[in-house]
Amino acid sequence: MGITMRYRRPLTFVLSLSCAAAAAPPINGRLLTVGLSQPVYVTHMPGHPSALHVVQRGGLIRIVDAETGAISPAPFLDLRSVVRVVGDGGLLCAAFAPDFSDSGFVYVYYTGQPDSGGTIARYSVDPVTRLADPGSAHIVLRYSRPANGHNGGWIGFSPRDGMLYLAAGDGGTAANPDPTNAAQTLTGNIQGKILRIDPRSDGFPADDDRNYAVPPDNPFVGLPGDDEIWAYGLRNPWRCSFDRATGDLWIADVGQADYEEINIETVATPPGRNYGWRCLEGPRCTNYDGCVCQPEGTTSPAFAYNHAVGQSITGGYVYRGGAIPGLVGSYVFADFQTPGVFVLSPSLMFEDVTAGVDPGDPRIITSPASFGEDEAGELYIVNFFEGTLIKLVPPSCPADFNGDGGVDGGDIEAFYLAWEPADPSADVNHDGGIDGADVAFFFIVWEAGGCG
């Protein structure tokens, strides 16, 4: 029996190299931290703005000082004994509970021993040390998945309804795209989907792998299909996010052969959307066996770009910080393969801002695996292979090193106090090292009384 794919919404912004671009505000990238190991996510503990929590694929969550970039010797959480790193698996995400100040709970997603099953687990954080206790594990959800297949692995709490969402990949590979049609299978298969659950209670007391409740307003409750499903028809949703101001859900889905796509669910979006994979990839019909593409019933992406622009999307965030006012309301994302950093304006106009974020020589955006927000809504990028953490900042004046708006002797003192212990902020020439070249560069722009 053929699989019929229908489009619900015909309008999609599709980008090719000939498309006109919007004008994003100037954005720079500041190298904040080096020495991480395969970082795949960044988040922050509510109420503690001085620290960032960086998820490393191998099983550690590291604490990074948001100002200096220093990495705390003690990990926030060590799960190396339970995490299995194979294929695109590992420890992939973390989310602090909406009521963290009262509950002290943090949730993580990982692929576990011995079979790489997808796992959401909850841990308790000590209010004094602010470290998570690995012995406090409480399994929320555990499910089988192919060890080497698309994983997804993002989790996040909606600021609108407080529920926990999971983005699960289809289990396929680039060479074998969704061989079981998981993304379109609505019963007994949660892969290729967005799930929505309530981890605060247990609706399945007899099942050790399902310690959560299903929200009664989920779209498949009372209908054929698994009750946990919120949306389906996704290939490999790599990094979703909620807009902290509106609660809108942005879903970045990695493509197969031709297109990368972004799907947006606003407050007015009806749940239960079908995004079309494995018969649709962006705006095109794949023509895989059993696929018949017709014009109703599925939702086309809000935005897609072809593989002349990039080949592996990394989802980002709608910017809600204060440091770059002209960026507020725009969606910032990246491409892992290019690598590049991009901006979508509120009207979904595209701009490649890579040259501003990363002027090169040497590059600082090399393998952007994920974005993250701090308490104030400022954005960060982690590079997977290089183990670095980048902060997005407004264009700076290196001569005004102390940031007081003037160029004077206070800047020399502040620069020396950073340069002598090799603080990352002293890398004013952005060459990746703290050395005499930074001193020479700083004094050239300082003596000029301006910015270089």
Which secondary structure element, helix H or strand E, spans residue 137, and what is its range? none
Exposure string over 196-231, b if 16+ CB within 10 A, otherwise e: bbbbbeeeeeeeeebbbbbbeebbbeeeebbbbbbb
Tokens 């901006």 belong to residue: 343
Q: How much is the pLDDT for 12?
A: 56
Pairing of strands 13-15, 303-306: parallel
Quick one: CA dihedral 301, 303, 308, 314, positive or negative?
negative
Mean pLDDT, the chain, rounded, equals 91
- pLDDT of the residue at 433: 81
Predicted confidence at residue 359, as pLDDT, reads: 83
User: Can you list the residues of the chain whose pLDDT is less than 70?
Assistant: 1-22, 295, 403, 405, 430-432, 449-452
Are 368 and 314 in contact, with CB atoms under 8 Å apart? yes
- Residue 441: per-residue pLDDT: 82
**E strand residue ranges, 300-374:** 303-306, 313-318, 331-335, 340-344, 350-352, 368-373
Cis peptide bond upstream of 114, omega within 30: yes
* Tokens linked to 35: 């020495």
φ/ψ bin of 78: left (φ > 0), alpha (ψ from -120 to 50), beta (otherwise): beta
Distances (CA, A) of 263 to 9, 153, 183, 311: 12, 17, 15, 17
Token pair for 407: 């160029």
Q: Among 33, 44, 22, 7, which residue's Cα sits nearest to residue 331?
A: 22
Q: Which two tokens stand for residue 90?
A: 């590992």
Q: What is the pTM of this model?
A: 0.87
CATH 2.120.10.30 domain residues, the chain: 3-393
Q: Give, in degrees to the nearest 5, the angle at Cα 146 between 142 and 147.
A: 90
**Nearest Cα residue to 415 out of 374, 444, 379, 381:** 444
Given a contact cutoff of 8 angstroms between Cβ atoms, the answer to whether 45 and 402 are in contact is no
Would you call 411 helix, strand, or coil by DSSP?
helix
The dihedral region occupied by 239, where left means phi > 0, alpha psi between -120 and 50, and beta the remainder, is left
Write down the pLDDT at residue 15: 66
The b/e string for 347-375 (b: 16+ C-beta within 10 A; e otherwise) is ebbbbbbbebbbeeeeebbebbbbbbbbb
Give the pLDDT of residue 11: 42
* CATH architecture observed for domain 3-393: 6 Propeller (2.120)
Q: Is 315 exposed, middle or buried (0-12, 13-18, 19+ CB in 10 A)?
A: buried
Question: So what's the pLDDT on residue 13?
Answer: 64
Are 275 and 253 a contacting pair, CB within 8 Å? yes
User: CA nearest 238: which of 253, 258, 249, 248?
Assistant: 253
**Residue 254, both tokens:** 């990695």
In angstroms, the CA 238 to CA 301 distance is: 15
